Structures are given as structure tokens and as C-alpha cells.
A and B are shown apart, each in its own frame.
Chain A
């Protein structure tokens, strides 16, 4: 390390490093130099590289050199933004240590949803020098009338876990906030802290106003991870995602480790594995459960128990992908498919937060296809390949929310705000017409029919500035800020069961679930649309136990403990990521290249070889389509490997088209790898005799009228629209004091969607919903890419019976929801039951 670089560090700091027996790391000093040169910077570093200290070092150095007795108070110097409030609190705690040891006289405070109203007020009046908070809190601060006085002294912003923030609407909101901070505090410089990403330049642009790019500092990578695939002694399942076959082996691994994190992909799976681990937990190891549906208090307790080293394992979902450092974790088990190389890398990094030691991770595929995916992910991890999602363009609903927030802060000039917004990377391509549409939406709904002008939420002043119409609107903004829209959630409340049966002694009763097992309390929350699939009496796993739904009263699902052995396992959504494009391509290449199979388990190799004999293996750039009869139906199975969402959309569109061709499709099922449609007509023969054409079936124009027609009625589209309606501020999340009103009183966004679609199809909110659908639940972008790729590369195999590769997807039938044009058929079926009853 050269003299020039260390000289940036004052003696007080070099002494402190020395006293601790540390030396400042090169990337920590590099970041300091960029800060001292007045530059924005992005630090890319693996976990354990002292990233947080690197981010704060420039602030601490600068603050240590400030004169301490400024009469009006020193003002806010550094703002730290984290995606998790727990992380903000933890970082604040960790920052206190060097600050205290170096005797730096400064105030470090956090501001989250949990901060008391009085403290928040005081923070605005008399801010600390370093404030640690979340994107939502930043938006709230920026929307307050004293934002200019609060932020004018700001010198630095530190954005933690930037790679995770920028991929969502939260990132859009933060980008807009950052752009406004640059206006309020021109001297402010931003520092981003990120894990390794696919394209660092995207983040470098994100941090600053166009056309600039933040400086880049890259820390050396840590020791290579110790990765393996669990070599199961059990028979590998053909399908399913439970991973139940390997529970005993997973338990053995937990027993041998100090502390293990067991990652799974869905909450349902977390519930199931947790349950199964406890069934064999003969040593009573403290194993806990953590996922997004559980009561927040319960989650905090698990996190604290983990931090204190009281647990041997936590079964968790992506809720623990990010988070505070737990030094004790020495093993990560990823159960099920990794879904993406970068996601896996992130999870692996949760073990062993020390740079010089390998993190240890074991991948446990839950079926044969997942073996291929795990293999691809491990190879990607060894190469350091990344597949973080590409930079997004800013969402329109978030834009609307931000415009209202800006009006709440101070009257604004439209042109100035437009310029500021375009300086935020996600909105760099926003055109004035769209900005004006957003502005009009905020003002009066932006409808072609101008009847709401007199109720406008923001109005123009005499000098042409836009200001918020009244305090109520500003209050409503504050209540509704943020971009995280929960699905309609119902609280799950445990009530006394029917007294008839004796209370079970619950033989599988886990030792560490103390807080879960009291009566009459709320266990957590669950999506309303999941409960819609249940009838009273149906059982499901939740919070590690089997519950029976008793009924729904207002916003609560009342449940009792059930004694059923076979719960109807919930498929409640959340955390089900589609297979990344990158891994999919790798899996396709692997399938096409038998030489690469040497690393695969024998069972899988045999399976693939059999596929080669019976049908053929999909080649990397082809789309293999198999047809075969089975049980009186005719199947068509395609292997696009584009992820479940894109396959579901494809299934919807394909069945419409097959219907028109007279193939009489009856339903379909989609997995991450394949799509199976079953028909009453002999689709295979029709294709071989050229009575139907595969090219027509998979033609790109299905994304035209067919798509539009389907979207009209699509429940996915309505759900997407609802999110946009909430984020944009069209409807409120909650009315103060009105939470108790029955659900039928609130306006249904489904009805609004139907009316708007018919009467103003080009409205900004429908555009926002369509854009979301393209990248979100329908994954249209990916489907479009796939259809383009396979044109002229469609391979048809007409078979006499099901192929080995098709077995897994056929087994999903009955396990996964079957799609089709149900709707009125459901009514017809229910009506038929009545007729039967009447006839009997």
C-alpha cells in the first residue's frame, strides 16, 4: 500500500486500525480517496470484506475533522439507506463501536417505521450527523415541508445492498429520492455498496445523474466457496419441489454443522421441511422457521435467537437472503432449485462472513431437472458468472407517487421537476408527454373526461407552481407511501377448536416454537387469494403446524389446530422465482451435450440416456415438442426452459390457439422447464399429417390479439392493476379509522379495471399495469424472446407413449394448479351438482 493512499487517513484512524490489529483494506482507502476527491463511487465487494466500514469511513473521517461547536447544530451529514430496517438498526449498532473507540463526538440514529413519533419529530428539528433509514422513510422525509432545511447540509448518501434495491419499484422510488437529494444538497455525493453483479456499469450510472458514471472500486473476491450437490442415497424424485426425500440427509448435515441456514424457495416448502425436520429431530436441535407470512414479532425473535447463537438451523425463504451478519453460520443448505446464479451466490455468502475462509454450501435438488439446474448453478458460481436482472425502466405508478410527494414538500415547477426526474437513471428516457400524463393523474386522475378538476389533489398557484390542494391529501400521501403492496392479506388467528375432540398432544411438537403455541393469537398473515381456494374445514400448514380453516370474519381467518396427518399444503405464493434466463441456457446446453453428464448422478444420467433412446434430447437452440396419447387424452409437451411464469402465459395463449384449430385442449400445467397441454383431439397425428402446423401454434403473433383478448379477463392482470392503483395513489391502502369497515365497502379495483379498460384503454394506469405484466407475473418479455428464438427451430417428436423427460411435468398435474378457461365452467359444474341433487 503506497504512502499516498494511507495518508488520506488521519492518525486517529490509523491508530484505531492498529489498536485492533487491522490494516485498512485497499478498497476502503480507495473509497475514501474518491470521497475526498468529491466523487460518487460504487463499491463491489463480497460479504465479509468490511463493506459497511468502507462506506462510512469517508463520513467518519470528514466528521472527525469538523469543528465541533457550530451554534445551529452540525446538521445531517450522512444518510444511509438499507432495504431492511433490521439491517439499518444493526449497522447503526456496529458503527457506534469505532465512533466511540475513536472518541468521535457524533450522533448516529436510525429512523424506521418503528421509530416513535416524538423521536421522528425531533430528528427533523435536530437531526443526527448520521441517519440510517429505509427508502420509504426517505420518501417521507423528502415529502415534508422542512426537507430543504433538513437536507441542505447533507454531504454523503450510502446505499447498502444496492444490487437488491435497484431491481424493484422500491429502487425506482429511491432513484427519484436520490435525484431530489442532489437538488436539495448539490454537494452531496453518493456511495453504493453492492454484491457482485452482472453489469457494474448499470449501478454506476444509477448512482449519479446522467451522463455521469460513479467511480468503481472492486474489492478482491473472497476465498472460493466450497460447493457441492448432496449426493443422495435416496431415489431422486421425478418431480415435485418438496425435497422430502432428503430430509434425513439434510438433518445429518445440520447435526454436523455449527449453525446452518436452510434456504427454500417458497413459504409452503419452508413449512413442509420445517415440519419434516422436527419429525425426525431426535436430538431436539433448536431448529426455527422464518418466512414472510409469519408474524413480524415471531420473525424478530428467530433473528435474535440466531444472533445470540441459540439456534442450530433456520429453515427460511428469501426473507433471509439479505440481512444482518450472523458470524456463526458455517453452512448454507439450498433445498430445491437455485433459480439463479447470483441468487445462489448471495445465499452462499450468508455462511461464514470471513473473507479468507471458504463459505460452505450444499445444494439439494428436489427432483431430476433440479439436479441439472444445481449443476449449472455450481458451474456458474465457480466461474463467478452473474445473472442479476437487467436494469429496469422506472415504473409509472412510482412516478405518480413521487410527484405527489414533491407537491407535499413544496410547490414545484413542472419543467424543473421533469428535468430532475430525468436525471434519475430509471427515468432517463421518460418523455414529457408521459410526465404530463402522470402529473395530470396526480392532479385529477388524468382522465379524458375532465369532471374531477374541482376535486384536484394538486393545483397550480398563480405563479404556475404545483402545490398540494390541502393537508388531508398530504396526510393521505404519508399513509400510502412506499411501493410494497401486500396482497390482500388476512390475519391467521388461532381460536379454540370444536371441543368435541380431545386436545392433541402433538407428538411432532417442536421444542423451539414456544411463542407459536398459545391460544387466541395471531399467527401471521396469509394471502386472501390462497384462502379463496380453501373451504372451511380444509387443512393447511402454517407457522410449522397443521391448521384447519374455520371461517373468515372480516380480515381474519379463524383457524384451529388440526389433527390431520395430510394437510392440504398451501401453495400460497411468494418467493417463487422463475428460473433465470442464464441458468436456463446453461441447462439447455448441458442437456444437449452428453459429454457434460459425467458430473451428474447415475440416476439422472440414465434418465437422460433413456430420453435419447425413446425420443430425443432438446438441442440448445431448438424447441423440442413431443406429442403422445395417454389415458384417452392426447398430450403436447414443450420444453422451452423459460421459467414457470412465461410457461403459464404460453399455456394460456397456446390453448386459445389450439381451441381455434379444433384440437380441443382441456387444460395445461406449467413448470420451470416444460409445458404440457392435453387435448381430446389427436394433436400428434394432426401435426404429422400436416393438418395442423407447429409453426402456426408457436407463431409470434400470439402476443398480439390473443394476448390482448386474454388479458382482459386475466386474474393476473387484475392483481397487477391493483398494485399499480395502490402505488400510484389512486386508491388508498387504508383509511385512517376505517380499517374495520367490511370489505364490501371499499372499492374493488377489479371493477375499476373493467370500467377503465372499456372507457379509456390508454390511461396511464393501464399502461403501468401492462408494463408491469410484461416483466412481472406474465413474463411476456421472456416469452417474446423465446418465441423469436425458436422460429424455424421447432422439432416435433410424435411418440407412442410418454417420454422420460415428460414424466416430471405429467406428475405435476394434480399437484400444481391446472389452468384453462375455467371461469363459467366452475359455475356450470356447481349448477350441475344442484341438478343432480334435485334429480336424486
Chain B
């Protein structure tokens, strides 16, 4: 993955850079937005006897560090569902806790609350907000139904299934119609919801959004019609 080889998209007139890592970079504001980190999803499932590898938080942090090292943001906004459950922050291993704290050092850090983490993470720096306004942009976890110009949200974990005569691929993507933008999930174990799903239908009533699909080295913009249901 080549970090920084992003695609400039406009959301409500604001210039945003969709990064192949799945982060959104607002250069003028030196603000980096990542959504649905789902830290500690592994240990959350392990509590129920599903012992998937306990390296998801580490994997997500390593990727996040690469993005932060590249852009050196003044402000990082985690757009909700940063932890997979309420106790997630307490289950962070000491080394992951330290890694995360290092990333937070020297910059403003906003935890937007999500449906998985309605309360701010305990024992970690950063402010907790339900929403956050940045000029024409309004940042929140869950997108609101209907038209919502300037909204930057996550929650839905969009993926696009692209089918061409050469084959088919299912990848995470940004979804935007220029008025609002849904970010892909950043977390290593975060699954995906096809953007053809009903859940997206009410968000773009007037015109079809484009899928800005995360490729290996860059972002590919694909027309909505080119994306298929699962």
C-alpha cells in the first residue's frame, strides 16, 4: 500500500484526500479522519470462545502509524466505533496502549462516539464528542437518512463489488456523491457492507454516489452502476 497516493475528492466544496489506507486527509486543516477502527474486536470475540488472532489492534495501529507518520496531522479524528465494545480500551495490551498513546502525543485527538463505543475510551487521551464540525463539514459516526450536505460519516463499512469481464473484486471504498462521504472501515477485522445494500439507499436519494475503491497502490473511482450487489 502506498500511503499518500490519494485521490482528491470534494465534499460540500471542501477539498479532501481519500487515501488508499482508508483514511481521509483534510490538508488545509491538517486533519486526518479514520473511521471504525474496531480496536480489540479480536479479544471481544475471544470472550465468547471465538479465539481469532489477538493481533488486530496491533495490525490496525501499525497501519494508522504509517498514515500518521506520512501526513503528520495536527488533529486526528476517530469517527466512532473506535473500540469494538465498551471495555475495549481496558483490554488493550500494555504495548498497544503505549503505541496508541505515542500516536496521540503532540496532536489533538477526537474520539467521536459510535454505536459500539457510546462512552469515551477510558485511560486514553483525547476528547470525546458526538459530532464535530469543521467548516462546511459535519463529522459524525452514523450517517443520517436523507440529504445531509457536508456530512462525513462511517458506521456502514462500505465495500464495493466491481465486476468486469476480467473478474470480480470486493474491496473497501469511500462512498461519496460530492455532498456527503461515507468512509470505509479502517480496523483490521472490520467486515464490509456492500454499498448496494438497502442501508445506503436513503443516503443518496438524488443522485448515485461514486465508489472510491481502495486499490493496492491508489484509489480507483468506479461508477455506482459498475458496482454490483454481493
Tell me, in angstroms, the Cα distance from A721 to B43 when the chains sit together.
21
> Digit string of A746-787 for contact with B (CB within 8 Å is 1, else 0)?
111001101110111001000000000000000000000000
Tell me, in angstroms, the Cα distance from A824 to B220 when the chains sit together.
9
Residues in chain B near residue A747, CB distance under 8 A:
41, 45, 50, 52, 189, 191
> Digit string of A441-458 for contact with B (CB within 8 Å is 1, else 0)?
100110101011001010
Judge whether A742 and B193 touch: CB under 8 Å.
yes
Judge whether A445 and B53 touch: CB under 8 Å.
yes
Residues in chain B near residue A744, CB distance under 8 A:
157, 191-194
Q: A731-B50, A732-B50 are in contact. Are A755 and B188 (CB under 8 A)?
A: yes
**Which among B41, B43, B55, B162 has the greatest number of chain A C-beta atoms within 10 A?**
B55
A743 at the interface (CB under 8 A from B): yes
| CB-nearest residue of chain A to B62 | A758
Tell me, in angstroms, the Cα distance from A168 to B47 when the chains sit together.
33
Residues in chain B near residue A447, CB distance under 8 A:
51, 53-55
Judge whether B226 and A833 touch: CB under 8 Å.
yes
| CB-nearest residue of chain A to B41 | A747
Tell me, in angstroms, the Cα distance from A532 to B160 when the chains sit together.
12
Interface-forming stretch among B122-130, B139-147, B167-175? B167-175
A834: contacting residue among B41, B55, B223, CB under 8 A: B223
| CB-nearest residue of chain A to B163 | A535
> Digit string of B186-230 for contact with A (CB within 8 Å is 1, else 0)?
001111111000000000000000100101110011110010111
Judge whether B53 and A756 touch: CB under 8 Å.
yes
A256 at the interface (CB under 8 A from B): no
Residues in chain A near residue B41, CB distance under 8 A:
747
| CB-nearest residue of chain A to B199 | A742
Judge whether B213 and A827 touch: CB under 8 Å.
yes
B221: contacting residue among A535, A743, A834, CB under 8 A: A834
Judge whether A752 and B52 touch: CB under 8 Å.
yes
B46 at the interface (CB under 8 A from A): yes
Judge whether A533 and B168 touch: CB under 8 Å.
yes
Q: A827-B222, A834-B222 are in contact. Are A452 and B54 (CB under 8 A)?
A: yes
A536 at the interface (CB under 8 A from B): yes
Judge whether A535 and B222 touch: CB under 8 Å.
no
Q: A451-B93, A536-B228, A755-B189 are in contact. Are A822 and B54 (CB under 8 A)?
A: no
A759: contacting residue among B51, B53, B162, B223, CB under 8 A: B53
CB proximity of A725 to chain B, nearest CB, Å: 9
| CB-nearest residue of chain A to B173 | A827
Residues in chain B near residue A822, CB distance under 8 A:
166-167, 169
Residues in chain A near residue B215, CB distance under 8 A:
824, 827-828
CB proximity of A90 to chain B, nearest CB, Å: 38
Judge whether A449 and B93 touch: CB under 8 Å.
yes
Tell me, in angstroms, the Cα distance from A817 to B167 when the chains sit together.
9
B180 at the interface (CB under 8 A from A): no
Tell me, in angstroms, the Cα distance from A170 to B159 when the chains sit together.
36
Tell me, in angstroms, the Cα distance from A552 to B93 when the chains sit together.
41
Residues in chain B near residue A834, CB distance under 8 A:
210, 221-223, 226
Judge whether A755 and B56 touch: CB under 8 Å.
yes
Tell me, in angstroms, the Cα distance from A283 to B47 when the chains sit together.
64
B52: contacting residue among A730, A818, A829, A831, CB under 8 A: A730
Residues in chain B near residue A730, CB distance under 8 A:
50-52
CB proximity of A654 to chain B, nearest CB, Å: 19
If over half of B's interface residues share one DSSP class (helix, strand or loop), that class is named, otherwise mixed; here it is: mixed
CB proximity of B39 to chain A, nearest CB, Å: 13
8 Å CB interface, A102-154 against B: none
A830 at the interface (CB under 8 A from B): yes
Tell me, in angstroms, the Cα distance from A444 to B45 when the chains sit together.
12
| CB-nearest residue of chain A to B190 | A751
Judge whether B55 and A826 touch: CB under 8 Å.
no
**Which among A473, A742, A758, A830 has the greatest number of chain B C-beta atoms within 10 A?**
A830
| CB-nearest residue of chain A to B230 | A552
**Which among B49, B59, B193, B194 has the greatest number of chain A C-beta atoms within 10 A?**
B49
Judge whether B43 and A452 touch: CB under 8 Å.
yes
B229: contacting residue among A552, A824, A826, A833, CB under 8 A: A552
A754: contacting residue among B162, B170, B188, CB under 8 A: B188
A748: contacting residue among B161, B164, B191, B226, CB under 8 A: B191
Tell me, in angstroms, the Cα distance from A760 to B216 when the chains sit together.
22
CB proximity of B10 to chain A, nearest CB, Å: 15
Tell me, in angstroms, the Cα distance from A752 to B189 when the chains sit together.
7
Q: A449-B93, A747-B191 are in contact. Are A455 and B55 (CB under 8 A)?
A: no
- 6 closest Cβ contacts across the A-B interface? A445-B51, A759-B55, A827-B220, A831-B220, A744-B191, A744-B193
14 contacts between A and B (CB under 8 A): A445-B51, A455-B47, A455-B51, A744-B191, A744-B193, A746-B191, A751-B191, A755-B55, A760-B53, A826-B168, A827-B220, A830-B226, A833-B164, A834-B210
List the interface of chain A (C-beta within 8 A of B): 441, 444-445, 447, 449, 451-452, 455, 457, 472-473, 476, 532-533, 535-536, 551-552, 730-732, 742-748, 751-752, 754-756, 758-760, 763, 817-818, 822-831, 833-834, 837
Q: A452-B46, A826-B167, A834-B222 are in contact. List 19 more A-B contacts (CB 8 A).
A: A451-B54, A455-B46, A532-B161, A536-B228, A552-B230, A730-B50, A731-B50, A744-B191, A758-B59, A760-B53, A823-B169, A826-B166, A826-B168, A827-B213, A827-B220, A828-B215, A830-B226, A831-B221, A834-B226
List the interface of chain B (C-beta within 8 A of A): 41, 43, 45-47, 49-56, 58-59, 91, 93, 157, 161-164, 166-171, 188-194, 210, 213, 215-217, 220-223, 226, 228-230
